[in-house]
Structure 1
Amino acid sequence: MRAGRLVSLLLLLQTRGRMTAQDLAGELEVSVRTVYRDVESLSAAGVPIYADRGPAGGYQLLDGYRTRLTGLTSDEAGTLFLAGMPGPAAELGLGSVLAAAELKLRASLPGELADRADRVRERFHLDAPGWFRAGEPTPHLSTVADAVWSGRVLQIRYRRWKAPREVDRTLHPLGVVLKAGRWYLVAAYGERTTAYRVSNILAAEVLAEPAARPEGFDLAEYWAEWTERYESGVYTQVATVRMTVEALDRMAFVFPPEMARCARAEAGPPDENGWLITRVPIESIRHGHIELLKLGAEAEVLDPPELRSRFTETALGLLATYRPDATQLSVRSPLPAPSQPVPPPLSSPPASSSG
């Protein structure tokens, strides 16, 4: 570990020029006293490193000196694909390794290319999570990544949506994917390969048994196919909804993309009062209830009856909460009655799979 730190110190001075002991200590995550000892060791080994005194002083290399100690370790080389994504690299436990790899790569570049690399770093930044989405807690991500990297079987306890909610799985991990700020594990369970949300893993242990990996498995290709199946199969029901044109426009900002897209594609022409009838894909009655509540009084569920009944119960409950003195519910509505016939329901898309 000390040898690697000495190389990193040398490369820092080579790539950045003069640096204070405090700056070097911050970059290397060591004490200033450790920096002093490392500088003495480098000097004793013949490295032409010297110190400038005073407030603007610091350590630097003799002009023209360049080291050839820029060979990447296997771990550092393996993290180069994460360049530009320091956040995800840190979540995987590879933050310091990636920093060392980037430093060595920067030191190996000639002046003009090194300056170009610096400009790219200064002008481009990747922020993976979507808007208004905080990062999910993934306490077992490093364990999952270790199983994927070492090619060993992973034993997990997993929380899923359907009963029983908590299940034990012995998985053959195939890869990890970062999708819109959320981590997923792609793994084989028996004859089936699917994706598991890492934040739903309650416990994880890497076993000694080697994992089986299908010959020719392509993670990117599998993920593209899986996401297409998931997005098309997750919506198992359809709700017929009467809504205003403004509500249909607002769906693009507050609904999942597939729901908003289908609602717009299925929308009929608006009537003279600005209301239209469309069909919205939903995962379940409960899911449709939660999502369509976002539209408030600008939407009326016409079908299925179970979903319409749930909205009636919600309206009565809100009345009881905000008007506890009300003795009866007025059925008179300021909204105009529909002037268009209700279209027949769509056939349900196929049900999605679950881990």
Structure 2
Amino acid sequence: MKSSRLVAILLLLQARGRMTAAQLAAELEVSARTVYRDVEALSAAGVPLYGDAGHAGGYRLLDGWRTRLTGLTTGEAEALFLAGAPGPAADLGLGPVLAAAQLKVRAALPPELRAHADRISGRFHLDAPGWYADTDETPYLPAVAEAVWNGRALDVRYRRWREPTEVRRRLEPYGLVLKAGRWYVVAAPGPRTYRVDQILELTLLDAEFDRPEGFDLAAHWTAYQRDFHARLYEGGGEALVRLAPGVTLPRAVPVDARDADAWTVARVPVESLDHAAAEFLRLGTDIEVLAPPELRARIARTIAELAERYGSRGDGGAD
């Protein structure tokens, strides 16, 4: 829409200063001729926008002139306030900064959008950590965030799951990721992924490093998760199960759409027999393991032990 494009031109010029018609056209994915018409429309509306000719020319706004955020749609205003999660910001030491930024954005919004933003703040709360888990202590998170932001190397003493459990590492942190309430730092060499709560000691080094040009943290994390799940099930084999109507399992591949009882027969990759038994028992009577025999026997044994334990005490002293 033309109105949103005009606002985009204003915001681009505010953020970047002088820009040529070709640069604006590339950003907006329109022709330079369209940019010329939009600039004329903005000038006619009283926006102090000037064009300079020559090699170093381009369009710019009058120094000190700022537009209010009246170009925000209702959805955009709501998304801004919903995305500002107070918990992660506080973890990074940015709680007061986030509050101040939201206050400034709210003050710049027109009344109708301000009301929508207030509804978001009052009706939605993001709480990343899961139930039944203590919050990880991450005393070094602000220091890691500072290193990420300023391109500074770190010397850390780190606790890992395999021997030797404590190691020293020199890290060049590229970015931080919050996943299910747990902070991870992606760092060179590698890059590899480290849990911030497993950092036992940290020294912020004077040495600086260059972040690889074009490194995309979100894309890297997506690929990392995909590889992690693939490695998780390597060598673990698979189970053949029956699932009650409406029950699904991640990574399950149906073998038969429905059997005689309208249950779905499917193959499911498993990490190990122990892990699979625990996961399948959580589904209770909504799942039946058909194969492998070892897994079926292990689940049957667990169920028999539970029945004996609870059955032996259930009658108590009753006649």
TM-score range, shorter chain: 0.5 to 0.7
- 1:239 alignment partner in structure 2: 238
- Inter-CA distance 153–209: structure 2 relative to 1 (3 Å threshold): same
Given candidates 278, 290, 294, the residue that maps to 2:266 is: 278
State the shift of 1:195 in Å: 2.3
- Inter-CA distance 272–306: structure 2 relative to 1 (3 Å threshold): closer
- 1:225 alignment partner in structure 2: 223
- Within-5 A mapping of 1:75-114: 84-106=84-106, 109=108, 113-114=109-110
Query: 2 CA distance for matches of 1:302 and 1:163?
Result: 37
Given candidates 86, 108, 111, the residue that maps to 1:115 is: 111
- Inter-CA distance 209–267: structure 2 relative to 1 (3 Å threshold): same
Which has the bigger relative contact order, CA under 8 A and spacing at least 6? 1
3-state SS of the aligned residue for 1:270? Answer: coil
The one-letter amino acid of 1:182's match is: R
- 1:262 alignment partner in structure 2: 251
- Inter-CA distance 277–174: structure 2 relative to 1 (3 Å threshold): same
* 8 Å Cα contact 2:152/2:208 also seen in 1: yes
Query: 2 CA distance for matches of 1:288 and 1:185?
Result: 29
State the shift of 1:299 in Å: 3.1
Q: TM-score, normalised by structure 1?
A: 0.54
State the shift of 1:95 in Å: 0.8
- 1:289 alignment partner in structure 2: 277
Could you list the runs of 5+ residues in structure 2 that have no partner in the other structure? 1-63, 67-79, 314-319
Q: TM-score, normalised by structure 2?
A: 0.59
Q: Could you list the per-position Cα deviations for residues 59-87 of structure 1 after superposition, in whole angstroms to 9, with x for gaps in the alignment?
A: xxxxxxxxx9x9xxxxxxxxx99962222
* 8 Å Cα contact 1:82/1:98 also seen in 2: no
Query: 2 CA distance for matches of 1:172 and 1:281?
Result: 36
- 1:344 alignment partner in structure 2: none
- Inter-CA distance 203–156: structure 2 relative to 1 (3 Å threshold): same
Query: 2 CA distance for matches of 1:165 and 1:315?
Result: 36
State the shift of 1:106 in Å: 4.9
Query: 2 CA distance for matches of 1:81 and 1:168?
Result: 40
The one-letter amino acid of 1:193's match is: P
Given candidates 233, 250, 256, the residue that maps to 2:247 is: 250
3-state SS of the aligned residue for 1:230? Answer: helix
The one-letter amino acid of 1:250's match is: V
Query: 2 CA distance for matches of 1:120 and 1:204?
Result: 43
- Inter-CA distance 149–114: structure 2 relative to 1 (3 Å threshold): same
The one-letter amino acid of 2:98's match is: L
- Inter-CA distance 298–100: structure 2 relative to 1 (3 Å threshold): closer
Query: 1 CA distance for matches of 2:254 and 2:166?
Result: 38
Query: 2 CA distance for matches of 1:165 and 1:81?
Result: 41
3-state SS of the aligned residue for 1:177? Answer: strand
* 8 Å Cα contact 1:239/1:301 also seen in 2: no
* 8 Å Cα contact 2:175/2:187 also seen in 1: yes
- Inter-CA distance 266–137: structure 2 relative to 1 (3 Å threshold): same
State the shift of 1:303 in Å: 3.2
State the shift of 1:203 in Å: 4.0
State the shift of 1:172 in Å: 1.1
- Within-5 A mapping of 1:116-131: 116=112, 118-124=114-120, 125=124, 127=126, 129=128
State the shift of 1:153 in Å: 2.0
- Inter-CA distance 233–244: structure 2 relative to 1 (3 Å threshold): same
Query: 2 CA distance for matches of 1:159 and 1:304?
Result: 36
Q: Could you list the per-position Cα deviations for residues 20-50 of structure 1 after superposition, in whole angstroms to 9, with x for gaps in the alignment?
A: xxxxxxxxxxxxxxxxxxxxxxxxxxxxxxx
* 8 Å Cα contact 2:81/2:117 also seen in 1: no
* 8 Å Cα contact 2:130/2:180 also seen in 1: no
State the shift of 1:295 in Å: 2.1
* 8 Å Cα contact 1:135/1:181 also seen in 2: no
- 2:43 alignment partner in structure 1: none
- 1:143 alignment partner in structure 2: 143
State the shift of 1:276 in Å: 4.3
- 1:155 alignment partner in structure 2: 155
Query: 2 CA distance for matches of 1:307 and 1:166?
Result: 35
State the shift of 1:174 in Å: 0.5
